[in-house]
Amino acid sequence: MNNAIRYYHSPIGWLQLVATEHAISGVAFVSKPGESAVNSPVLDLCQQQLEAYFDGTLTKFSVPLRLEGTPFQRRVWEALQTIPFGATWSYSELAQRVGNPKACRAVGGANHRNPIAILVPCHRVVGASGALTGYAGGLERKQALLAHEQRTRYML
């Protein structure tokens, strides 16, 4: 099966969801939807979990993921998935967690190349001072995701 694609209109804009037969391989912000060509149980599950996340009833995703990148990138992306819901880590803390405390720039590069937004929560990484730094979806979306998680965390 080729990749299946679906467009989901989230509270912070359109998302393109991409799946293989068994796992999500991409979640990206797009300006407008394209055509969703194929139905997929994996895409159904992903959309259901995103809807529950945005409704404030889901704090940890369980949809299967397919992360393709270098071994270092995959270590960074796996570490991102351990950042607790509603929390943030600095690039330095993330570098320490992947076993290379001096690799802050490389961690930033891997974070920037994360192919699965939101589910692999690169939005939870901030500058050393706590300031919001770059985000592929734009800083306003990063801020909205972090604010959503803070509100939800205090409601639970």
Let me know whether 144 and 79 are in one domain.
yes
Q: Is residue 79 pLDDT above 90, yes or no?
A: yes
Catalytic residue positions?
122
Count of structural domains, the chain: 2
Among 55, 79, 95, where does a domain finish? 55
Let me know whether 47 and 103 are in one domain.
no
Q: CA 117 to CA 114: how far, in whole Å?
A: 7
Let me know whether 93 and 30 are in one domain.
no
Q: Is residue 136 pLDDT above 90, yes or no?
A: no
Instruction: Kindly give the pairing relationship between strand 89-90 and strand 125-126.
Output: parallel
Domain at 116, CATH number: 1.10.10.10
Phi and psi at residue 58, in whole multiples of 5°?
-130, 130
- Range of the structural domain that residue 83 is part of: 71-155
Which two three-digit tokens encode residue 49?
Answer: 């979990």
Let me know whether 24 and 79 are in one domain.
no
DSSP letter assigned to residue 84: P
Q: Is residue 107 pLDDT above 80, yes or no?
A: yes
Contact 15, 5 (CB under 8 A): no
Q: Is residue 31 pLDDT above 60, yes or no?
A: yes
Q: What is the pTM (predicted TM-score) of this model?
A: 0.92
Residue with token string 């351990």: 82
